[in-house]
Amino acid sequence: MATPEVDDPESMKALTVFLLRHHSNDLRSIILALDSLFHYSLHIQFAELMNDDPLRAHLLFSQPRQYLRLFDSAAFLAQRALLEEFGWVNASVKEFVHVRIDIFGSPLEFPETFPSIGKVRVKHRGILLTLKGTVIRSGGIKMIEGERKYECRKCKHIDLKPGSATEPESIFCISTNATSAAFRSYFKVHPELETRNTILLPSSCPSQKCAGTSFQLIEDSIIRHDYQEIKIQESVQVLGVGAIPRSIPVILQDDLVDIVKAGGLTV
């Protein structure tokens, strides 16, 4: 089924503060970059996050898909906080900033979360997992749908703005009452690659106060991503005599596409 959005304002705020405290210079460089449509990488140390905020480090480890998205939204908010420094300088908040995790020097280097490819099992599904191997196949770069926005027809469900824990993510529109205004609000749905990128809507409105079951797609809200599939194989040096090296497919998106080639070692 589609991956739900995380509604965690406390973590949004904490991750934003972490980025401003430890990565403000990196964010300033991104703000000053000229290409507003480029996908930028922001590398953080997991060990540093664990020392600074153990709770968010655990959430990132146990729910990486949801909390990496939250981290990306925190990067958006952190840029907005820094933008005021630049005045009239040609600077802008970049929408496509992706937080990437460096696990070296952290507990994630232990075998349970850094297994050899041949020892990956179902227990590893859904956690922040690190694999090391040689790229044996590198596919072409394709385009894939990554997000849609829907609106509940009953309550006009309010979601959080990317990078904000307080402001509704809204498209401003005029209400039927001439003396007031309304916000057309929406929630996000992310498809699952495991189900051939199928979009499955929730059975009921994400708002806890609404039982609506009818949703409409927000026009021009579909976001697409660069997509590449590679295959990595475990190193023969870590295998016993006569053992066959195992391989596993890996999906790369956005800033990660086309950065590795067949024959290269990757982590």
pLDDT of 170 above 50: no
Cα 20 to Cα 49, 115, 213, distances in angstroms: 13, 33, 40
Give the integer Cα–Cα distance in Å for 89 and 86: 5
pLDDT value for 185? 58
Give the DSSP H or E segment for 68. helix 64-83
Confidence of residue 114 (pLDDT cuts 50, 70, 90): confident
Nearest partner of 159 among 204, 206, 199, judged by Cα: 206
What is the mean pLDDT of the segment spanning 232-248? 80
Cα 21 to Cα 58, 82, 83, distances in angstroms: 19, 11, 15
3-state SS assignment for residue 133? strand
Give the integer Cα–Cα distance in Å for 103 and 252: 18
The pTM (predicted TM-score) of the whole model is 0.74
What is the mean pLDDT of the segment spanning 47-72? 92
